[in-house]
Amino acid sequence: MSLIKIEKLTKSYLEASGKLEVLQGVDLEVFTGDTIAITGESGSGKSTLLHMMGMLDDYDSGKIYYSDKLIDLNYNKLNEFRNKSIGFVFQSHYLLEDFTAEENVAMPMFINTKDFKKSLIKARELLKALDLDNRKDHYPNELSGGEQQRVAVARALINSPQIILADEPTGNLDVKHSEELINMLIELNKTKKHTFVIATHNLEIAAKMQKCFELANGVLKEVTK
Amino acid sequence: MIKIILFFLKKYINSPKKEWLRFDSVFMILGIIISVATLTIALSIFEGYETVLKDTILSVNSHVYFYNSEVGNLQNEDVELIQEKLQNKSEVVSSSALIISQVIAAKGNRIKGSIVRGINWEQDDLPNKYRESIWEGSWKLDKENSAVIGFRLAKELNITIGDEFKLISTMNSKMTPMGLKPKESTFTVVGLYKSGMYEYDTKFIYIDIRDMAEFNSMQNEFTMVEVKLKPEMIEKADYLAYLWQHEFDYKYQITSWIDFNSNLFTLLKMEKWVIFIILSFLILIASFNVVSSISTSILEKRMELGILKAYGATDKLLQNIFVSKTLILALLAVSIGQVLGVLIAKFLSWQRFFVLKGDVYFLDKINVQFGITSWLIILGVSIVIVFFASLIPIKNISRLNITNIIRKA
């Protein structure tokens, strides 16, 4: 059984110059433990596809199944579903400025369980696993770019989601930190069986993933390595 | 949800950026402080005025009065009957008969229309606060034709303790070959009286009841019996008067201090609430700052709100966080406003540059009182206004589109 199954997903935007078809019947199947890269040029619709998979944005037509269950933006427990099932890592870290690293990591679990103590313990464990335990009390502006993004990854992992959607996670990092982050994600996939879908235009990163797809002209095609 | 809200509030207060000290937050707080302080000043002055006026009226007058139900005065046997019956009543502290008459007080070429009260000044439990109101001199009216007069009346007649003045009554005029000659007696001032009530201090003269009977030619007759009630019964004086009316078989006309002054106190109450409603509009205007402050805050924090929404925070949770933050600030601002208002009102009552016109407002001094009821009402009304104002901008939270925020950030 696939973890996520996308069928004939379409999305278009109305622009001054006319209708822009971003996705034209995209099909994709993701299985537990997969690491998938979605590549494509800037503006090809990678982020749009990821946002739709993450139930952050609506689509024109098509269907998205999570473990064979049809989910859309009208799902009445969408917030809870997103909280428990999906982890997000964005190009920017989007950490909450007024909260320390460990509080940022704990936030999704705190929203889910309402148990701050338990959430904080789990957040510390994750930060330790990601070699950030000495930075747990620091505010985001006191962390380096690489550290900020690792904290964002820890936040995405805290509720042990079924899938982690990463949109250009290395976009704001230098080469060294990019490599460290990607290696960390691969390691997490190997050791914890986390499923990752990563949107990137970096082909080197894409090459490290188990499967690679290219999005061009609104159509998603698997790229044979 | 409460746990999360409390956690966010704690972070908000302790935030290193001190968001609540931001320009728009400070203006929001200042707006509420100023409007609440204004409302507090107005209400505390009104409340103080009402209380002092009531106290002053009750210091001069007792609580329930028995008159003859027909034209004429109470006879000695009426007074005995009334006092005998009242003696057994648990609500009653004391009662006393007195004679009241309108006279002209004169000294040289100065004359003034006055009210003279003949009282049983020796009675220890006199129903009014005659003894406590003596400002200067003695309360004892033991010498023949001695009098205690209001200190303002003394000023107007230009007399003081030890001086003599005349009381002239046209009621007991005698027919003489020269025509009607009003009754005239000379009295000596032994004490000056100060109630704080302008009207009383410019008009009232107290003399011994026997001197009054002699002056008014009223042997064994009295104008009324006044009754002092226990403190807890004072506000129910009108009800007691109504009950006693029936108990005394409608033989006497029984009224209370409330009946006498009901118009005045009703007017005061109405004015107080009209002022309250008008000044509440200040809080309403201040609440516009609440709308703008929350709107700015939502705009500034849209990225954080977007990410919290992405991680499963519901619109309701985020809206409650914003409302709670605003209510905490409003609570702080209202409390500061109330304290500031009371302090300014106290200063107004303390200063002597501006005094009330006694002949217009009865009292010449600004008095201040701020009761728990007013405190709670101002707090409640302010918080309710701020709460409803905060509901307007927080609707924008549910309109925030996560993807738009993430794309634009």
DSSP assigned state of A218: T
d(CA A22, CA A215): 10
**Would you give per-residue pLDDT tens digits along chain B (409 residues)?**
788 888 888 877 777 777 777 788 888 899 999 999 999 999 898 888 888 888 878 777 889 999 987 778 889 899 999 999 998 889 899 999 999 999 999 998 899 999 999 999 889 888 888 888 898 999 899 888 999 999 999 999 999 999 999 999 887 777 777 777 888 899 999 999 988 788 888 999 999 999 999 888 888 889 999 999 998 888 899 999 999 988 888 889 999 988 888 888 888 888 888 988 888 898 999 899 889 989 988 888 888 888 898 888 888 999 999 999 999 999 999 999 999 999 999 898 887 777 766 666 666 677 888 888 889 999 999 999 999 999 999 988 888 888 888 776 6
CB-closest option in B17, B304, B312 to A108 = B312
Do B366 and B45 contact (CB within 8 A), yes or no?
A: yes
DSSP assigned state of A138: -
Question: Using alpha carbons only, what angle is made at residue B292 by residues B287 and B296, rounded to the nearest 5 degrees?
Answer: 145
Same domain, B284 and B216: no
Same domain, B170 and B296: no
Does the beta-carbon distance from B312 to A103 stay under 8 Å?
no
Q: Does A214 touch chain B (CB under 8 A)?
A: no
pLDDT digit string (tens) for B49-103? 888 888 878 777 889 999 987 778 889 899 999 999 998 889 899 999 999 999 9
Select the more confidently predicted residue: B41 or A181. Answer: B41
Q: Does A139 touch chain B (CB under 8 A)?
A: yes
Q: Does B93 touch chain A (CB under 8 A)?
A: no
Does the beta-carbon distance from A110 to B7 stay under 8 Å?
yes
DSSP assigned state of B232: G
CB-closest option in B1, B19, B304 to A96 = B304
Same domain, B216 and B305: no
Residues B56-65 as b/e (b if ≥16 CB within 10 A, e otherwise) read bbbbbbbbbb
Cα–Cα distances (Å) from A128 to A110, A121, B137, B242, in that order, read: 19, 11, 88, 83
Structurally, how many domains does chain B consist of?
2
Same domain, B192 and B282: no
Q: Across the strands, what pairs with B184? A: B168
Same domain, B118 and B208: yes
Does the beta-carbon distance from A98 to B16 stay under 8 Å?
yes
Cα–Cα distances (Å) from A77 to A81, A110, A113, B314, B341, in that order, read: 6, 17, 15, 10, 49
Among B170, B188, B222, where does a domain finish?
B222
Same domain, B48 and B108: no
Same domain, B111 and B189: yes
Do A87 and A164 contact (CB within 8 A), yes or no?
A: yes
pLDDT digit string (tens) for B157-209? 999 999 999 999 887 777 777 777 888 899 999 999 988 788 888 999 999 99
Nearest to A102, CA basis, from A155, A153, A169: A155
Same domain, B32 and B116: no
Q: Does A99 touch chain B (CB under 8 A)?
A: yes
Strands B146-150 and B204-208: antiparallel
φ/ψ of A15, rounded to 5, equals: -120, 170
Q: Does A189 touch chain B (CB under 8 A)?
A: no
**Tokens standing for B11?**
């972070």
Nearest to B115, CA basis, from B129, B128, B98: B98
d(CA B215, CA B105): 13
Same domain, B209 and B121: yes
CATH architecture of A4-222: 3-Layer(aba) Sandwich (3.40)
Q: Does A222 touch chain B (CB under 8 A)?
A: no
**The pLDDT of residue B408:** 67
Same domain, B97 and B159: yes
Nearest to B74, CA basis, from B204, B198, B183, B227: B227
Q: What is the interface size between A and B, counted as CB pairs within 8 Å?
A: 67
Residues of B in contact with A97 (CB under 8 A): 17, 304
Position A162: which residue type? Q
Residues of B in contact with A48 (CB under 8 A): 403
Element (H, E) at B4: helix B2-14
Q: Does A113 touch chain B (CB under 8 A)?
A: no
Q: Does A19 touch chain B (CB under 8 A)?
A: no
> Residue B62: which residues within 8 A CB-CB, separation 6 or more?
B96, B127, B128, B226, B227, B228, B257
Q: Which domain holds residue B122?
A: 92-222
What is the three-class DSSP state of B63?
coil
CB-closest option in A90, A111, A139 to B406 = A90
Does the beta-carbon distance from B311 to A92 stay under 8 Å?
no
d(CA B392, CA B385): 11
Chain B contact probe: residue of A111, A149, A153, A162 with most B CBs at under 10 A = A111
Distance from CA of A112 to the nearest CA of B (A): 8
Does the beta-carbon distance from B311 to A51 stay under 8 Å?
no
d(CA A37, CA A46): 10
Among B222, B238, B255, where does a domain finish?
B222
Distance from CA of B325 to the nearest CA of A (A): 15
Does the beta-carbon distance from A111 to B313 stay under 8 Å?
yes
Same domain, B196 and B300: no
**Residue spans per domain, chain A:** 4-222
Q: Does A92 touch chain B (CB under 8 A)?
A: yes
Nearest to A72, CA basis, from A88, A57, A87, A85: A57
d(CA A63, CA A76): 17
ipTM here: 0.86
Radius of gyration (C-alpha) of chain B in whole angstroms: 32
Whether B21 is covered by a domain: the verdict is yes
Q: Does A59 touch chain B (CB under 8 A)?
A: no
Whether B73 is covered by a domain: the verdict is no
Does the beta-carbon distance from B402 to A103 stay under 8 Å?
no
